[in-house]
Structure 1
């Protein structure tokens, strides 16, 4: 977490509170927050720990949280997860291929939101309240990556298609829908390569095939496989 491009130190409880608010777009009551964060504590002790945590977070980063009774971020706080969710939804609901690819040119999109679509949400965190949120985001991002890759295939940009859907295949190597899109991207990439190099001459027939130089490795081996295909 950054403010003015500087990391904020809020302690483990502060990080958990911030993550809780980031994964829930709607405001959270203090009682809900204390029960989520300290489910093994009595209500009074959990509420006390929440008060201490709030004090530390507000001291470390004034203006991060709203001053309302319910817990939420201030209106000017930007959360990359929210941006990634929004991008994924737009990718899934945009029918025009060129408009879909054009979404990647929006501010902050390519560098941050699209990058986040390539990763699970806080995969090493064992918090029970995070499990459902993590899985829903996982399925959303995988569907969005497949959709974007298919769009790249449709406009004959197979290398970008392979790179994008490769993120989905890496996350779930046996995901059939992602592997189908990857195979399509691979086929287009190989056809594009043949168009550029031209048909092989008679002297090359029967010679061992080699991987073309300069070709992205992503299009020669499906992520998750042991051997190149």
Structure 2
């Protein structure tokens, strides 16, 4: 595809990489995909920094050469995908990305906390959506993925806490479940889910969550749930069996 990149140019980084221009998928090479992804996640970059991040295991000259080739192909494919100056390169102003939208929602949580928008299915799906750039294992991708997941977890747990405080057990449970998908072995998310079941009067479901979590902790990490979580489930009358010794 050639021609000017329109305002309908959309970059997908959550899940598998994809780009569509005027709703038409565009195929790019691996180098070009990485350039667009890094610019979308980190903003404008100096050429030397961009090249060094994307190709850290080669000489600066070869890295800059790879960057120039990638930028040339991007310009041929769709002028406007990138703005390439002499020293700095940025994503084109017309390019929208799903990560920018997600970060906008996370900023809303930080700034506004709970609100009517927080309980919409769109927001729930966005906050607990697919991981960043599935199947990519570059160091910079792992770093960005970890940062994004921490923000998602913080937002989901924050909203779930507010939902519990305001008596919305079902919403709290939905938020906690999305947090557990991101990080299954985190006591705080499991506690929120258990509390949501207890608030709704479903003690059996709360016990099932605890049992499943306890077995997985023992199998994968050789540890037990925290005393606080065990005490919480004990309020149902359930007495947890002794688990494996805690690793130190």
Distance in 2 between residues matched to 1:34 and 1:183, nearest whole Å: 47
Given candidates 66, 75, 84, the residue that maps to 2:93 is 75
Deviating beyond 4 angstroms after TM superposition, the runs of 4 or more aligned structure 1 residues are: 218-224
Q: How far did 1:155 drift?
A: 3.9
Aligned position for 1:120: 131
Given candidates 16, 21, 43, the residue that maps to 2:60 is 43
Distance in 2 between residues matched to 1:19 and 1:55, nearest whole Å: 16
Aligned position for 1:63: 80
Conserved? CA contact 2:194–2:209, under 8 Å: no
Distance in 2 between residues matched to 1:29 and 1:181, nearest whole Å: 43
Aligned position for 2:29: 11
Q: How far did 1:138 drift?
A: 1.3
Q: How far did 1:42 drift?
A: 1.7
Given candidates 15, 20, 32, the residue that maps to 2:38 is 20
Aligned CA distance change for structure 1 residues 165 and 44 (closer, same or farther; 3 Å) = same
Q: How far did 1:123 drift?
A: 4.2
Q: How far did 1:221 drift?
A: 4.3
Distance in 2 between residues matched to 1:9 and 1:56, nearest whole Å: 11
Conserved? CA contact 2:106–2:155, under 8 Å: yes
Aligned position for 2:196: 185
Where in structure 2 are the equivalents of 1:78-227 lying within 5 Å?
78-95=96-113, 97=114, 99=115, 101-103=116-118, 111=122, 114-115=125-126, 117-190=128-201, 221=209, 225=213
What TM-score comes out, normalization by structure 1 length?
0.72
Q: For this pair of structures, how many residues does the alignment match? A: 197
Q: How far did 1:20 drift?
A: 0.9
Distance in 2 between residues matched to 1:34 and 1:72, nearest whole Å: 13
Aligned position for 1:29: 46
SS where residue 139 of structure 1 aligns?
Answer: helix
Distance in 2 between residues matched to 1:54 and 1:152, nearest whole Å: 47
SS where residue 96 of structure 2 aligns?
Answer: coil
Aligned position for 1:206: none
The structure with the largest strand share of the pair is 2
Q: Which has the higher contact order (CA 8 A, sep 6+)?
A: 2
Distance in 2 between residues matched to 1:113 and 1:56, nearest whole Å: 37
Root-mean-square deviation over aligned CA pairs: 3.1
Distance in 2 between residues matched to 1:177 and 1:5, nearest whole Å: 41
SS where residue 71 of structure 1 aligns?
Answer: strand
